[in-house]
Structure 1
Amino acid sequence: MRPKDGKVDTRLAHLQTLRSRMLGGVNQVMRRIWEQGQRPASVRVRQAFYRLDEMRILEDERKPLPKEEQPFAARMVTPKGLQLRLMLTMLYAAQCAVGPGKQWGTPYPVESTAKHPVSWMSLSASVSQYAGPGIQLASEDVNRRRQITQALKTLEEMALVRANTGPGRFSTGLQLLCENGTSTVSSAIPYTAADDTEPYIEIPAEFFTCGWVHVLTNSEIAALLMWFDRLKYAGAEVGAEEGDPLTITYVTGDIRQGLYGLGRKAYETHQALDAYQLLDVIRPEKRYDSGKWEGYSQGESDLLCHRVSLAPAGFDRDAGEIVEDVLKRRDTGGYWARPMFSTPKRFDRFSMVSAAE
């Protein structure tokens, strides 16, 4: 038996705690604001949030773009930070609350009250470990509030939100700003959803209502944003013997780093996203499961990237249950794999002449 991966073991324990304490309740609140609001089928995210306007050229993949030059989503890929999940949740809440082109005048408070039961705490699922004296649950609530406040301060530094009564003072409310980051200290641009004239991606509403936003890692979420963008703006339609045509895409290392600011670790999340059945990852016919190539030579022209497509109805399932099942198998077997009786992919292998096709 392979030795256990400590990171997977820790993540699994964290997820199990999350599911037992709060994930179900948070998902209910997510669904409630959707049902009582505009009921968007998907949530629009402006391209500038996760992608640079111009490609940056990197000489060495081991030396990524400086943090300040990366798009917002890539900057938010940290082991424990809540800012990426919180920002996407805020965009979801705004598009549930008001229609296209309208400003959200009264975003939710940080903490729930009798008058305002919906808050950023009630829409966020995170486990805050507490090692001090006193009552554990009360201390967790205090620490969760601190986590959310700290995430809001980070978003404020990026000009994505603004506290109503002064920098960092979110207890009295906040204003959500445009996610393209064009606001300044002297000129804030209130948030409205992207219209059809702007480049944007659409995240299925089930990403929020079924809990995916809470159980995926920051790297997995940032990679998903990249794949949504590639499928929309760099996808190719391929036919199938049965069913509708399929849109597939790929990304090379220079584009992944120079356009999306994501390193190799974020790219490798395609294995987990495939195991969760959110993406269908299709390997070139000469590539083994290990990533090695049959008959590899440095000058080969057919060293193709993986192709990726969206798995049908992948987000419509309970995220906590799916991810926990996959993590258990990953923790035991040491590899990412789908359940034995999962829906088969429409393509498992492909044969093309070059990655430029």
Structure 2
Amino acid sequence: MNTALREVWELDGGQRPDPIRLRTGFLLAARDDEELVPAPMSQLLNPRGIALRFYLLAVFEAQCRLAPGAEWSGTRLLDRALGWSDFIAIDAAYSSTSSGYLRGTKQGRTLESSRLRQVQGALRTLEGLDDQALVEVPRKENGAHRDYGAFVLMHETGRGGLPTAKRYRVPARAEAAVDIPRDFFLHGWASVLYPSEIATWLTLRFLAGRFPSVHDQSGVYLYGQDREQWFGLRRDTYEDGCAMLLALGLIRHAERRAPSAEGTPTLVNANAMPVTIDFSQPADPGRYEAHRYQLTDEGLREDALAQSLTLLKKLSSSD
């Protein structure tokens, strides 16, 4: 799986992007009249689903092929060599006798067919977000079945409410975006982390990119209303995600230092709806002070599966 993604990234004549850029509208709620519209990412946190993972992989694949500003076009097949199914990792039983992963499931399906089914399920989920649909899957000529292989990737904020869908374009260099290091994909982190952990990590990356001095000096955090309204992350989802990212070495606790020269920063979404987050003061002195975090991107250079198995062994031995 990592090998397949690396082949795509190293494609002759390709872009070899680093970082991969994700528009902020994917994870930050938007203002619609007097209401906030939840961001697409917040609707993809099903722990058993791969829709969030698949969308990020599709963005990665697009940016490997297409120059900034180019509109989505795709001819990659679902289940051939270097097809979409090759990018997906699924759980499989390990046999100590054969020292390998079993090729079949309890239902008699092969891993290849299971991957294909998961890709198809992810596409249905991504298409089912109404105006925020992140893909469109055309119907075959008979109209009864979806032509999954011909799916079209949509903009990070969705297809929109107009008859003409808003297709994905590779972000121009001047566009506001979250920067994702290539190692997140090439070393397997996109496939190992749960959706809630990916969402938490992306949110921390957004804050670090928006407030770099605060991040470097004293760390960033999210608390209460800002976290839930703007990023759709409940407290338990966020805190559990941070705990796992800490254990895997992808973030660290930040030491409290003097207030940043940036003062009191303001989050601004695409429709100029401000949210004030004062990083120089405790999040809520009447309750508790939220943990402050700093990203440790050097952790992304480690093999995600190996790190996860090591952590699993530690947790098992401590029980």
Whether these two folds match at TM > 0.5 is: yes
SS at match of 1:101: coil
Q: Which one of the candidate residues 81, 86, 89 is aligned to 1:125? A: 89
Q: Partners in 2 of 1:189 and 1:118 — Cα distance?
A: 27
**Which residue identity is paired with 1:96?**
C
Q: How far has the Cα of 1:34 moved from its partner?
A: 0.5
Question: Cα deviations across residues 48-86 of structure 1 (Å, max 9, x unaligned)?
Answer: 11110249x9xxxxxxx9xxx532112111121010000
Q: How far has the Cα of 1:170 moved from its partner?
A: 2.9
Q: Does residue 35 of structure 2 align to residue 35 of structure 1?
A: no
**Which residue identity is paired with 2:10?**
E
Contact 2:200 2:238 in 1 (8 A): yes
**Which residue identity is paired with 1:248?**
G
User: Which residue pairs with 1:160 in the alignment?
Assistant: 134
Q: Does residue 174 of structure 2 align to residue 203 of structure 1?
A: no
Q: Percent identity?
A: 28
Q: Partners in 1 of 2:307 and 2:206 — Cα distance?
A: 24
1:301–1:234 Cα change, 3 Å: farther
Q: Partners in 2 of 1:147 and 1:173 — Cα distance?
A: 16
Q: Partners in 1 of 2:208 and 2:66 — Cα distance?
A: 28
Q: How far has the Cα of 1:196 moved from its partner?
A: 3.8
Q: Partners in 2 of 1:209 and 1:276 — Cα distance?
A: 16
SS at match of 2:293: strand
Root-mean-square deviation (CA, aligned residues, Å) is: 2.7
Q: Which runs of 5+ in 2 are unaligned?
A: 94-104, 258-283
User: Which residue pairs with 1:218 in the alignment?
Assistant: 195
Contact 2:134 2:153 in 1 (8 A): yes
What does residue range 78-157 of structure 1 map to in structure 2 within 5 Å? 78-112=46-80, 117-127=81-91, 130-132=105-107, 136=108, 138-157=109-128
1:325–1:274 Cα change, 3 Å: same
Contact 2:39 2:231 in 1 (8 A): yes
Contact 2:66 2:170 in 1 (8 A): no
**Which residue identity is paired with 2:187?**
C
User: Which residue pairs with 1:194 in the alignment?
Assistant: 171
Q: How far has the Cα of 1:254 moved from its partner?
A: 1.5
Q: Return the TM-score normalized by structure 1.
A: 0.69
Contact 1:128 1:144 in 2 (8 A): no
Q: Return the TM-score normalized by structure 2.
A: 0.77
User: Which residue pairs with 2:225 in the alignment?
Assistant: 254
1:233–1:107 Cα change, 3 Å: farther
**Which residue identity is paired with 1:325?**
T
Q: Partners in 1 of 2:198 and 2:297 — Cα distance?
A: 18
Q: Partners in 2 of 1:180 and 1:121 — Cα distance?
A: 25
Q: Does residue 319 of structure 2 align to residue 319 of structure 1?
A: no
Q: Partners in 1 of 2:220 and 2:17 — Cα distance?
A: 26
Q: Does residue 26 of structure 2 align to residue 49 of structure 1?
A: yes
Q: How far has the Cα of 1:149 moved from its partner?
A: 0.5
Q: What is the aligned residue count?
A: 271
Q: Partners in 1 of 2:302 and 2:19 — Cα distance?
A: 16
Q: How far has the Cα of 1:143 moved from its partner?
A: 2.8
Contact 2:218 2:292 in 1 (8 A): no
User: Which residue pairs with 1:277 in the alignment?
Assistant: 249
What does residue range 51-90 of structure 1 map to in structure 2 within 5 Å? 51-54=28-31, 69-90=37-58
